[in-house]
Structure 1
Amino acid sequence: MKILLLGGGGFVGRPLRQRLEQDGHRVSAPSRRQLDLCRPRADWRHWQEDVDVVVNAAGQLLDRPAGALEAIHHLGPLQLASMAYQADVRRWVQLSALGADPQADTLFLAGKGRGDAALLASGLEARIARPSLIYGPQGASSRLLLQLARLPLWLLPDGGDQRIQPVALGDAVEGLARLALADDAPEGVVDFVGAEALTLADYLRQLRQLQGLSSPACILNLPPQASRALAALTERWPSSLISRDALAMLNRGSCGDPAALGALLQRAPLASSQFRDAP
């Protein structure tokens, strides 16, 4: 099978490419410089010659430059999907996000939602994965949380009471591979979540224990107004993971039903308490 993989050098895309190639599939993974979803071009067509499946694992969190999120998550994939349909590509697998909705109150989730809706209406066999927070020690958000977990004092928005359902990187990669390769995998939207939901504070406690630290950390509650002010300040930094949109997404929660991912994996996805055993 020939697969066009977008975002093949990223946190999820890199191990996904390895997984697909290990099965003997031909993977074409253009760099962002070669295929930039912010800058649609007619010559994108040549990337889809003889392609069976497109897997889109490209994305970003901050809207830099302005309009980038809408281009990367909606308009660019829509144009590429139109070309894919004309080129007789039969399947499109999309890495979206839990909570994606065209009417969401954050640019990230709204753009993801519009992109998902466009793909579902494209005529392609669209399979959309919507993960919660993905855990992998090499991931930027995981590194940030691991560093925070090591500190003796945690300053958390609303005391860390937000509910999340982290999924292991290995489970997310395997789920995406099966969406790409398996003819009997479901079309439409699949939530990619771990086996257990927990609060952010409890997740940090697990990450602290994962690093061999048994002493409890002290939690200080950061009120909503102060949280938003801090996020507004830190989002100005290049490549910041802390922004007002990120805070809003944290506050809305990120939980789902693990049954669909379990059916794909043919086993229960790992719970966050099992991440020590994650590949």
Structure 2
Amino acid sequence: MQILMTGAGGFVGRHVAARLNEQGHRVLALSRGIAPEDRTDAVMGPAVLAEIEAWKEWPEGTDAVIHLGALNPSRSEPQSGDLAALRRANVEATAALARRAARERVRRMIFISSANVHGPTADKSVSASDPLAPGSPYAISKAEAEAAFWSSLSGTETEGCVLRPAPVYGAGGRGNVAVLVKLARMAGASAARGAGWAAQLGGRRSSGTGDRRIS
């Protein structure tokens, strides 16, 4: 199966692409504007994904599209609060890619959204059927992108699927989970140092007691 993927160079995308290649699929990494020299599977697409409907080099024989690419700035970046920019990158681009996939009669398109569209819930677990309650500009853009995705595929032959992953962690990850991992390592290092100091101190005390007993 030939699969066109956005966000293939990202943390999740690298793992997904590698896994699909292992299973015998052909993954084409859609690059924005310039194809990376270190990727032989890269396809040079439009610099702005929202303009993909006018792109003239759609790969023939594409069976599926996985849309992982998104604008997801950290909270410290100015764009994290720029809802207009997030809508251009996440909502308009998703809708345009879905329309193009449907026009090319792609069999299936998978859109990676976010569990953040449900908002924070401290007292219960969340299911896909729960109402959406996005609490940040990024989450709002993802919720709106889901609606645009389904609207763009409505009445077409392309089957759609939306996934809402919770924070993904692992080597090379970033975001809140990466911060927690860093804090855990710092705490572990501090605990190890504390244990070492305690052992040294305990050894000295034991030695002193022994001296007193001998005398």
Per the alignment, residue 68 of structure 2 pairs with: 57
The offset of 1:50, in angstroms, is 1.9
Aligned residues: 159
The offset of 1:22, in angstroms, is 1.1
Alpha-carbon RMSD: 2.8
Larger radius of gyration: 2
Cα deviation code 1:186-212 (max 9, x no counterpart)? xxxxxxxxxxxxxxxxxxxxxx5xx89
Distance 1:87 1:41, change over 3 A: closer
More helix by share: 2
Q: 2:180, 2:32 → 1: CA distance?
A: 27
Per the alignment, residue 142 of structure 2 pairs with: 112
AA in 2 matched with 1:92: M
Q: 1:48, 1:71 → 2: CA distance?
A: 24
- 1:83 is paired with a residue whose SS is helix
The offset of 1:25, in angstroms, is 1.1
Q: 1:40, 1:213 → 2: CA distance?
A: 53
Structure 2 residue ranges without an equivalent (≥5): 34-44, 119-131, 195-215
Tell me, yes or no, if the aligned pair for 1:2 and 1:51 is still in contact at 8 Å: yes
Q: 2:143, 2:48 → 1: CA distance?
A: 16
Per the alignment, residue 104 of structure 2 pairs with: 87
Distance 1:35 1:212, change over 3 A: farther
The offset of 1:140, in angstroms, is 1.3
Tell me, yes or no, if the aligned pair for 2:4 and 2:64 is still in contact at 8 Å: yes
The offset of 1:36, in angstroms, is 4.0
Q: 2:21, 2:30 → 1: CA distance?
A: 15
Q: 1:143, 1:61 → 2: CA distance?
A: 15
Tell me, yes or no, if the aligned pair for 2:113 and 2:146 is still in contact at 8 Å: yes
Distance 1:38 1:4, change over 3 A: closer
Q: Which one is further off, 117-126 or 80-89? A: 117-126
Tell me, yes or no, if the aligned pair for 1:100 and 1:110 is still in contact at 8 Å: yes
Q: 2:46, 2:13 → 1: CA distance?
A: 15
Where do residues 236-275 of structure 1 align in structure 2 (5 Å cutoff)? Answer: none
